Chains A and B, each alone.
Chain A
Amino acid sequence: GAGVSQTPSNKVTEKGKYVELRCDPISGHTALYWYRQSLGQGPEFLIYFQGTGAADDSGLPNDRFFAVRPEGSVSTLKIQRTERGDSAVYLCASSADLYGSPLHFGNGTRLTVT
């Protein structure tokens, strides 16, 4: 079946601009996660949702980052006033439930801030 889909696969933006990254989880998965991966590093947690609500947003680095999941399926990660340090691969994952089920990842969106 279809896996986690992320769009766009690549995004280049200028410093100070606003960007939106989209994630389509596996159908029926209630939990959705956002991670950020810098070159040569492991993925770092940003936020996760159970249904429509953010269960834990403690990984968001600052208030320029925001994520929504209004209907409990598709999620959008929003970054305001982008900075060069935001350049990374943003990974989305979904799982059948919050605890005890493996996360299935998409291939990520590579964000480059120039």
Chain B
Amino acid sequence: GESVGLHLPTLSVQEGDNSIINCAYSNSASDYFIWYKQESGKGPQFIIDIRSNMDKRQGQRVTVLLNKTVKHLSLQIAATQPGDSAVYFCAEVPYGTALIFGKGTTLSVSS
């Protein structure tokens, strides 16, 4: 599958491939993290979340990995489908403050 070691603004994959989207967060005090998917003309849609006492969490076709040592978060999408095409944002929640969004990655899936 396609993956990126550092944040890249775009990622292009073939249908059926696995996708990995990376994100670096900034605040070591953040204890809650969320991945959102945003389609054109719509608000961000919740995908999956993870708390700082975990390093991995799985959902339906998605897995989030958290590496607190290097402040890195990743979203893995299995068997990527054309409907997965969207902009993906990671977000962190430092305790006591509101959610802070990272830079988005535009995922394009071709069939």
User: Contact residues of A with B, CB < 8 Å?
Assistant: 4, 33, 35, 41-45, 48, 56, 59, 91, 93, 99-100, 102-108
How many residues on chain B are close to A (CB under 8 Å)? Answer: 23
In the docked arrangement, what's the CA distance between A41 and B104, Å?
A: 7
Q: CB of B111 within 8 A of chain A?
A: no
> Which A residues touch B43, using CB under 8 A?
4, 91, 93, 105-108
Within 8 Å by CB of A91, from B44, B46, B100, lies B44
Minimum CB–CB distance from B108 to chain A (whole Å) comes to 15
> Which B residues touch A48, using CB under 8 A?
98
Minimum CB–CB distance from B21 to chain A (whole Å) comes to 14
Among A4, A42, A44, A99, residue most surrounded by chain B Cβ atoms (within 10 Å):
A42
Closest to A6 in B: B43
Minimum CB–CB distance from A69 to chain B (whole Å) comes to 15
> Which B residues touch A45, using CB under 8 A?
98-100
Is the Cβ of A42 less than 8 Å from the Cβ of B41? no
Within 8 Å by CB of B89, from A33, A42, A56, lies A42
Is the Cβ of A33 less than 8 Å from the Cβ of B98? yes
